Amino acid sequence: MTEYAKGLEGVIANESALSNVEGKAGRLSYLGYHIDDLVENCSYEEVVYLLHYNRLPKQDELEAFEKAFRTDRELPAGVIDFLKNAPKDANPMDIVRTGVSMLGLYDKRATIGEPDLEKDAAIALSICAKIPVLVAAFHRFRQGLELPPIREDLCEAAHFLYLINGGEVPTDRAIRTLDVALTLHADHGMNASTFSARVTVATLSDMYSAITSAVGTLKGPLHGGANEGVIHMLEEIGDPAKVDEYVEGKLTRKEKIMGIGHRVYKVLDPRAPHLRKLAVQLTEELGEPKWIQMSERIAEIMRERKGLNANVDFYSATVYYSLGIPTDLFTPIFAIARASGWTAQVLEQLRDNRLYRPMTLYVGPSELMPVPPIENR
């Protein structure tokens, strides 16, 4: 039988200068800057600039970029109406998916056909600026509450927390925590959702269509949806003493443990230690160390029994939980961050485009058959 790469494992589909995912070394860098260094020295906004413009901004460039980012937050009235009238029990990722698609309806710059990269860069920033507001507005409206006034004096992390918390400006600690999480989730090579975005835009469709594809792809529990699965798992276990039995049961039934394993990293995901450190500090402060105790034991068993390590979703879940963020907003927060990478990858795709069209290994009937009349089937 002809060999093929199931799940496209190991297949190189394109070239990218944006993020370097070094699976064996357990190292991640954006445009040649190690994530440890970026987390230490840059804001999320600097990272978005880096991804969109392929270099770090100078001070005046950063200021102009932040201003443009912050003045692009308002949603069109039609999108606000949709968010107010959407089912209150809708999955927030479905709201993001439909909301991004609707934003495209109201943006006359978004056209199909030959790309205009300057226009596309402006659309990219607009998408990054509006997704957090989409998420927060839906969260407020579903509780029958108003969205606080949009502000331009808060960074992305602060503004999102301010919106979901009804206008309360978050602590510096909370802002810094979310800012780090956004940086760590910004881009990650040819992951499934980024691939979706590039496949869509490679047909010369528009940026909104590409990001809508990406949101739908991120939602699944084998990808971005795993962070919500981690908290559901920890809630189900409930007690550090019950971890061993729970994990053994899962392994016996050949079920997956959420937040563990990665297609590319064969060692610890380099983002996990950052998020673990934040999770440890935050749960200690909350006086709820059991979350991290359960997580540590799960990670230990999975390393020993399966040789698998924690991925980015494993500790981010506890970080968001400790910030008081509702569980069903965890994957939307991933989308907020990854929108910067998706849009950067779309811009990169458009700079040197070629349609994606792989082959399939046909395994259906080898002989042609006549179509029988319907009464004889």
Ligand X SMILES: CC(=O)SCCNC(=O)CCNC(=O)[C@H](O)C(C)(C)COP(=O)(O)OP(=O)(O)OC[C@H]1O[C@@H](n2cnc3c(N)ncnc32)[C@H](O)[C@@H]1OP(=O)(O)O
Ligand Y SMILES: O=C([O-])CC(=O)C(=O)O
Q: Which residues bind ligand X (CB under 6 A)?
A: 7, 222-224, 226, 256-263, 306, 308, 311-313
Distance CA 52, CA 62 (A): 12
Burial of 12 (0-12, 13-18, 19+ CB in 10 A): exposed
- 196 belongs to the binding site for ligand Y (CB under 6 A): no
Distance CA 55, CA 58 (A): 9
Tell me which of ligand Y, ligand X, none is bound by residue 308, counting a contact when its beta carbon lies within the kind-specific cut-off of 5 to 8 angstroms: ligand X
Which residue, 1 or 12, is less far from ligand Y as judged by CB? 12
Which residue, 272 or 350, is less far from ligand X as judged by CB? 272
Q: Which of 97, 130, 188, 274 binds ligand Y (CB under 6 A)?
A: 188
Distance CA 286, CA 368 (A): 67
Q: How far is the CB of 35 from ligand Y (least distance, A)?
A: 11
Q: Which of 43, 177, 191, 200 binds ligand Y (CB under 6 A)?
A: 191
Q: How far is the CB of 57 from ligand Y (least distance, A)?
A: 24
> Which residue of the set 139, 223, 262, 274 is catalytic?
262
Distance CA 22, CA 344 (A): 20
**21: which strand partners?**
28
Which residue, 202 or 264, is less far from ligand Y as judged by CB? 264
Tell me which of ligand Y, ligand X, none is bound by residue 337, counting a contact when its beta carbon lies within the kind-specific cut-off of 5 to 8 angstroms: none
Q: How far is the CB of 235 from ligand X (least distance, A)?
A: 17
**Residue among 304, 111, 319, 152 at smallest CA distance from 234:** 319
Q: How far is the CB of 284 from ligand Y (least distance, A)?
A: 26
Which residue, 194 or 343, is less far from ligand X as judged by CB? 194
Tell me which of ligand Y, ligand X, none is bound by residue 174, counting a contact when its beta carbon lies within the kind-specific cut-off of 5 to 8 angstroms: none
Distance CA 211, CA 124 (A): 9
- 189 belongs to the binding site for ligand Y (CB under 6 A): yes
| Chain residue at closest Cβ approach to ligand Y | 191
Active site residue 313: yes
Where do the H-state alpha helices sit in the chain? 35-41, 44-53, 59-70, 77-85, 92-106, 117-142, 156-164, 172-185, 192-201, 207-218, 226-237, 243-252, 272-286, 290-306, 312-322, 330-351
Q: Would you tell me how many other CB atoms lie within 10 Å of the CB of residue 21?
A: 20
Q: How far is CA 318 from CA 59, 167, 204, 227, in A?
A: 34, 24, 39, 9
- 263 belongs to the binding site for ligand Y (CB under 6 A): yes
| Region of 145-153, 188-196, 227-235, 321-329 interacting with ligand Y (CB under 6 A) | 188-196
What phi, psi does 29 have (nearest 5°)?
-140, 150
Q: Running DSSP on this structure, what letter comes out for residue 7?
A: G
Active site amino acids? 262, 313
Contact set with ligand Y (CB under 6 A): 188-189, 191, 263-264, 311-312
